Amino acid sequence: MSEAEATTSPQRTRRGGVLGFLRDLLVILVVAFLVSFLLKTFLVRSFFIPSESMENTLQIDDRILVNQLVPDLIDVQRGDIVVFKDPGGWLYPRGTEPPRGFERVLQAVGLAADTSNEYVVKRVIGVGGDRVECCDAQGRVMVNGVPIDEPYVVIPPGETRASAIDFDVTVPENSLWVMGDNRYQSKDSRYNQDQPGKGFVPEDEVVGRAFVLNWPLNRFTWLGTPEGTFTGVDAAKGD
């Protein structure tokens, strides 16, 4: 080996090592973005909570992950927390700016929570065929004539009922009756009965079911229905 070759060989090796590292890093980033995009498109999507309507279960600026296999492959169940597109007239105008630049890219591939003003987050109380009414003598919501105990509901001091207004509805097939956990601060099915959909949410408008609160980390928790909340409701359906 000549003296010149001996001098330049380590430099070439170092340069080749740096280029190889950068190439591998680029491949990893591309694969990560692709995987995230596929997950966002078909399986999991992230949303943020813009209002107090689901407190104390979900608080303003919480981030949730949503299983998009619901309802296409997995049926919606009573008690599920679902994200759905505004059926029309449900949302108050919000003065938020649209995402810009890099944030928009991250949202598109599923690496950032969706902050658009067209989605609603509520809890399913009634599914197709259910009769949902309020309230019994103890102020509880009834589904198919069965009073349900809802430990997640927030009721202001001085109030005893799970809803400030009376209602008695039968949910059409392939539709949902939804309510916020913060019952006196939620513009849900009860307050949208004058809209074209009569307060019912078509299942085909559902994006998916929230299954985990993933941000902030100190509030990380799995989301679900407290055991026993809807006990006996199915058996009473159609009676």
Identify the three-state secondary structure at position 102: helix
**Which candidate, 156, 135, 158, 157, places its Cα nearest to that of 146?**
135
> Over the range 83-100, which residues count as b (16 or more CB within 10 Å of their CB) and which as e?
bbbebeebeeeeeeeebe
| Alpha-carbon dihedral angle through residues 192, 181, 205, 193, given to the nearest 10 degrees | -10
* Annotated catalytic residue, options 40, 122, 163, 189: 122
What the block records as the tokens of 140 is 């509880």
Q: Cα(191)–Cα(155) distance, rounded to whole angstroms?
A: 17
Q: Give just the sign of the alpha carbon dihedral 143, 148, 150, 154.
A: positive
Contact 157, 184 (CB under 8 A): no
Active site residue 53: yes
* Annotated catalytic residue, options 46, 53, 175, 189: 53
Active site residue 85: no
| CA 31-20-108 angle, 5° bins | 25
The catalytic residues are 53, 122
